[in-house]
Every structure is written in structure tokens, then in C-alpha cells.
Amino acid sequence: MNRKNLSRWLLIISPIIAAAYLLWPTYRFYQLDQERAQVASDSLALEEWDRTYGEDYQSARQARIKLGLDLRGGMYVTLEVDVLKLIEESADQLSVDDDFTTVLEKTRKETDNTDKDVLETFLTNFRESKLSLLQYFPVTNQVDPTDEAIEEKLRKDVDDAVDQALQVINQRINKYDVSEANIQKQGTRRILLELPDVKDENEIRKLLQTTARLEFKRVTMGRPMIEAFYNIDALLRGEKPVEEVAADTTATDSTAADTTAVAKADTTAVADSTKADTTKADTTNPYAGLSDDEALRAIKRDYPFTYMIQGLFAQNAESSFNPFDFIMKSAKDFPDQGVYRFVVSEKDLPKFLTIMDRADVKRIMPVDLEILVGAKPQGQGAGQEGPAFFDIYGVAAEAELTGDVITEAFPSFDPASNQPIVIMDMNSMGAERWSQITAANVGKQIAIVLDGRIYSAPNVINKIPDGRSQITGMANADEANLLAVVLKAGALKAPVKIIEERVVGPSLGEDSIRRGITSSILSFALVILFMLIYYMMGGALADVALLMNVLLVVAALAGFGGTLTLPGIAGIILATAMAVDANILIFERIREEMAMGRPLSSAVEQGYAKAWSAILDSNVTNMLSGLVLIFLGTGPVKGFAVTLIIGVLMTLFTAVVVTRAMFEILISSGATTLNLGQKKTA
């Protein structure tokens, strides 16, 4: 094989190898997914499988071709923030009159069921009515209040309302564990959700329409929290909670109850405190002699909840900190009110939250204690080194204060340290209660809780008498802005409503896949058959390039992390037709040149040269139309456009470069003629 032919073969084979590399994760994922489904019913076997193949499974899952909702089933939901309600609630209720109400109603008629900007429409109508915003809206922190200042504040409030809705919805959907949910802002007031594999549409509706609740709760980390952890362990092992065991054994203190969880470490069920205490007294490691995998399995069996928790504790801030070790310990081994930090890894977080959400777990929790998780990841998830993890907090079950007393919250910078801070203002009723709360909790933490997740737990430095608080400790301005948005969740009165909803069942998705594959195979078969019959050997070369074109389009989707949808399949079929069109132009030109007596090598060269302008024109036109669809279209339209553009690019490569390389390999091998079907007369 000469050097030129080698380069031509590489030109053909290299893209195929690259496509196989890009498509391997897709094949690997579905292979592993089937294996995982076979062991899903056995929790121990599933954990063993996850340890062995979990990393490979997640890596393949991220790199595979994703299927759209129309192919895999799921739920499309469009939510709309009620901006007019926000405007109405922001106004001074004592100043609202018929003129103001008339402007609101006019704006509602003009913006309902449209994409028009509600706030800008309202402001336009307000100006046309010759009214002043100062008549209706209170202005704070303004030395010289103007209509322009109120407009700016309203715009900020609307943006915050949408951002707050996004934050709450994102948190709720993640808690519901909807895999690969797509949540994005659309326009100025709408939020689009794509939720694959949803099995309970009613639960999702309830989840989306429940009003967000902002609360301030006292952080309480101590022995009762440890006891709650051990109680959950006992419950998950199928044993009685420690309080019930203590009652059965007539124990007068928490010793027997506390050691119940330890007794299981000896893999023997214990029914009384005496045996539990004996086990506790035995300092021998119950997992000695086991391999690492066997020991891990045993620990997870004996401590099905606490094995996920890591952290540090100390008697007080001045004491040395010790790492948590729940094995062979009981709650009495920990300080009653020490300094604690609990964390759970990002990988274990879904399981942790699922356990905490169980009704039987909630029943055994102390009535005055609630265990909550931080909303933001720490470590790698926050751009730092190390694996991502989430803080676990113990907080008082009863809220000290709710967010409806907040009148304003905005990010700023401390002039002394130039560090990001958040300023929070409360109304008079909230300020009075906040003064009492902060006075009683100086030196302690107060958690800021939105929808059951903690966004911040600042220390109270001193009593705050006037309702204006300065919250520090944010890592950057983005974090400060997020906290301000969360705090305003209690102040902004902007309900979110579902304006569009579509559900695609899994069976319909499977039917779409089957029909899509069937139509694709049928169309490819007809094209391949036509090319073989009409262009003979040339058609065979075109068919090879055609199959290669489809392979490269699908591989490109995988490489870009794209999603394959039903319109996307239509785009691939259309791109295939364009590839055939290019080959037909080339072959017809070659036949014309051969009819004029040119040798094969010259006819091929002239055929490609003369057909190139027409091929380029048609493909560029298609690409431009696809770009318009990408920028102006949404959902299925955009999916169609993306695959069409990728197909056009691959067509230019396979129909022009690859087929020409094939022709040149044949010619260099000694071919002087080639059957391109019926002869063309000059």
C-alpha cells in the first residue's frame, strides 16, 4: 500500500474509530443499567454492585446519548410567576384606588397568555394614565425618592421573584430525585421544566404549587441528635428504637438504650441491656479479620444510617476536636452540648434524605428536634478541593420566626473588610420578636431555612434591636446574592402557577422509539436500494458513506452531550437525504465527463470540482435555516435544528471527502472504469 492510499484509508477509518469511542459510553451505560436492574431488589447486592461498578456506571451515564422526554417518557411543565400579584402586593394597600386597579386589569388583559413583559406593560399603562408611582409604592433607603427609583426596585423584585422560584423548584425537584431534570428560565417570568421518568404526576404538581416557607430556627447540636441517629439505625435494622428497649429492660438511664446499636455490631440480636453492655465493654474490633469489602458490608448492615455521617466534635470551642466514630460508641460517649459538625457526602445525600423523609423515622424523632441538611455543597461541589459534601444540622422543631416579617434583603459589601454581606430588614412586629430572639441566643447559631434546607446558619454576635441585621460569612458575591434571594422568599408575594403541562407515558415513549427506528431503517433501506440499483458501484460507495454519515451524526450528539428526540430523528433522516442529494450531483457530473471521453481519474476530479458549488449552496442554505430555528425555536424545534446542522456538516465530509477518497483508492489500485449505472450520452 502506497503512502497516498494509507492516508486515504486513515481518512475513512479514523472517523469511524472516533465515532466508536464517542458511542462506547452509551453502549456501556445500557449494558451496566441492565446489570444493575437485575440486582436492584437485593439492597446488599446493589451496594456491592455500586462499589464495584458505580464509578464506571456514573461516568458512562454522563457521557451517553440522552433520550428526550418524547422517547423515554416524562413530564413537560411551564410555570409562570404572577408578576401582577407581586406588583399589587408591593403597593401600599391604603393607597390603592380604582385608578390603580384599572391599570392592573388592563395590564392583565394585555399580557394573559402572551410572552409580553408584564412589568414593562404595567409601567407603560401607568404612565399613559398620568399617575405617579410615588402615590402607591413606599420607597425605602432613598434620600430623594422618584418614580425611576421605584421602577428600578420593581424590576429588581420581579427578577428576585423568578430567581427565588427557580431556587425553590430546583431544590424540590432534586429532593424528589427526578433524574436529569432540565429547569430553565424562559422569557421574563416563565420557568420551563422537563422531568424525565416521572411516575407520579400528581406529586409533582403538588410539589411545584406548594408555597415556599422561610423560617428562622435555633441550631441545637448535642447528645439528643446522636441518640436520634442511633434510633434510626435501630429502626432500619428492624429493632425497637432505643427508648422502647430501655423501657422493656427497666433501665433507669440511657446507658442500656445507648448501647443497643452497638450490640448489633457483634451481628447478634440483643434483647436486653446486659448483653449490650457486655458487648460495649469488649473492646475487640468486631470486624477484625474481615477484608475491607466484608467489613464495609458489615458496617453498613449494623449502622445503616450513621455509616453515611462523618464529622468532628469537641467539648467546647477551646477543646481539641475528635473525628466521629459511631462504631463501638453510644450517645453517652459524646458531650451533651459540645461543638459539632456533621456532614454527608453528595453521593449518599439522596439516600440520607429518603430515610429522613420516611414516616416511621419521623415518628421516632424527638418532638423538639429536626434534622436538616444544608442547601449548598461544600468541598469540590463549591469549587474547592476534595469530594463534595453537605452539612447536617440539628435545629429546634419549632420556628423562632417566619419569613413574612422580612421587608427587604439585599447583598452588599462590608466597608471595613470589603467582604460580601447581606442586609436584612424586618417590619416592626418582626423587629420586636427578632430583638428577643437575638438577645436570648447571643453566641449561638440561627439557621435560615427555606423549604426544609438550610442556606445559612450565622452566629448571633449581639442583640439586634431595630430589625436590621447584617449577615456575614459568605464566600463570594454570588453566595451573598443567593442568600438575599432566599430571604426575600418570605417577603415577595409572587405565586407560581402551572400554565402548561404535557405528560408522555413510558409506553408512548417506547412506541415513539420503535416507530422512529422503524421509519429510519425503512427510509435508509429504500435510499440504499435506490442508489445500488441506479448507480451500481458508485451507489455502493455512496451507501457506505451514507451509513458512515448516520454514525457520525449520532456520535457527534454523544460528544456534545446532546439529547436525541423524535424531531431529532427526523433531522437525521433529512440530513441523510441531503447526503444522497450531494452524491447524486457528483455522480451525474462524473457520468457527463465520462460520456465526453475523459478517463476515470479526470472524470472523478472534474465531477467533484463542478458539483462542489451546488453542494455547498444547498447545504449552507440548510444550515442557515437550522440556525434560525435554533435561535428562535424551543424544545422539539430546536432538537430538530441541532441534528439537522450536525447532519449537514457530516454530509459535507462524507459525501465529498470520504467518497472521493474511495474513488481515489480504486483508481490507484488500477481501475480504469467504474459502473455508475446507465450510460450518459454526450
Specify which residues 174 forms β-bridges with.
none
Confidence of residue 283 (pLDDT cuts 50, 70, 90): very low
Residues contacting residue 662 through CB under 8 Å, at least 6 positions apart: 8, 12, 541, 544, 545
Q: Lowest-pLDDT range, 279-283, 480-484, 555-559, 574-578?
A: 279-283
Q: Each residue of 314-362: pLDDT tens digit? A: 887 777 777 777 665 777 778 777 788 899 988 888 889 889 988 889 8
Confidence of residue 271 (pLDDT cuts 50, 70, 90): very low
pLDDT at 157: 84
Question: What 3-state DSSP class applies to 81?
Answer: strand
pLDDT at 272: 32
Please report, for residues 90, 311, 540, the alpha-carbon distance to residue 667 in angstroms, rounded to integers and kept in the order given.
79, 72, 16
Domains of the chain: 1-64 (no CATH), 76-210 (3.30.70.3400), 506-682 (1.20.1640.10)
Place of cell 409572587: 494
More confident residue, 576 or 585: 585
Q: Lowest-pLDDT range, 423-432, 453-462, 670-679?
A: 670-679
More confident residue, 243 or 573: 573
* C-beta neighbour count of 236 within 10 angstroms: 17
Please report, for residues 224, 236, 262, 298, 327, the alpha-carbon distance to residue 265 in angstroms, rounded to integers and kept in the order given.
21, 14, 5, 8, 8
Confidence of residue 260 (pLDDT cuts 50, 70, 90): very low
Determine if residue 187 is left, alpha or beta; phi over 0 gives left, psi from -120 to 50 gives alpha, anything else beta. Answer: left
Question: For 398-409, what is the mean pLDDT?
Answer: 86
- DSSP alpha helices (H): ranges in 75-146? 83-90, 98-111, 118-128
Most confident of the ranges 163-172, 263-272, 463-472: 463-472
Is 247 a residue whose pLDDT tops 50? no
Task: Round to whole Å and give the CA distance between 371 and 225.
Answer: 8
Is 37 a residue whose pLDDT tops 70? yes
Please report, for residues 535, 557, 663, 680, the alpha-carbon distance to residue 610 in angstroms, rounded to integers and kept in the order given.
19, 32, 16, 17
Determine contact, residues 572/643, Cβ cutoff 8 Å.
yes
Q: Each residue of 354-391: pLDDT tens digit? A: 899 888 898 889 989 999 999 888 865 445 556 788 99
Determine contact, residues 106/87, Cβ cutoff 8 Å.
no
Q: Each residue of 89-112: pLDDT tens digit? A: 888 888 888 888 999 999 999 988
Bridging pattern class, strands 369-374 and 453-456: parallel
Q: Lowest-pLDDT range, 224-228, 391-395, 520-524, 532-536?
A: 520-524
pLDDT at 509: 61
Q: Each residue of 506-517: pLDDT tens digit? A: 666 677 777 777
pLDDT at 448: 92
List the grid coordinates of 675: 459502473
Determine contact, residues 492/82, Cβ cutoff 8 Å.
no
Q: Each residue of 118-162: pLDDT tens digit? A: 999 999 998 898 888 888 888 765 556 788 888 888 888 888 888
Question: For 660-672, what is the mean pLDDT?
Answer: 84
First-to-last C-alpha distance (Å) of the chain: 36
Question: For 231-260, what is the mean pLDDT?
Answer: 52
pLDDT at 439: 93
Residues contacting residue 58 through CB under 8 Å, at least 6 positions apart: none
pLDDT at 433: 92
Please report, for residues 181, 379, 447, the alpha-carbon distance to residue 382 in angstroms, rounded to integers and kept in the order given.
21, 5, 20
On average, the pLDDT of the chain sits at 80
Q: Lowest-pLDDT range, 110-114, 197-201, 536-540, 602-606?
A: 197-201
Question: For 635-646, what is the mean pLDDT?
Answer: 81
* C-beta neighbour count of 588 within 10 angstroms: 16
pLDDT at 564: 81
pLDDT at 141: 57
List the grid coordinates of 235: 429502626
Question: For 65-79, what is the mean pLDDT?
Answer: 80
Is 62 a residue whose pLDDT tops 60? yes
pTM for the model: 0.61
Is 44 a residue whose pLDDT tops 50? yes
pLDDT at 18: 92
Is 298 a residue whose pLDDT tops 60? yes
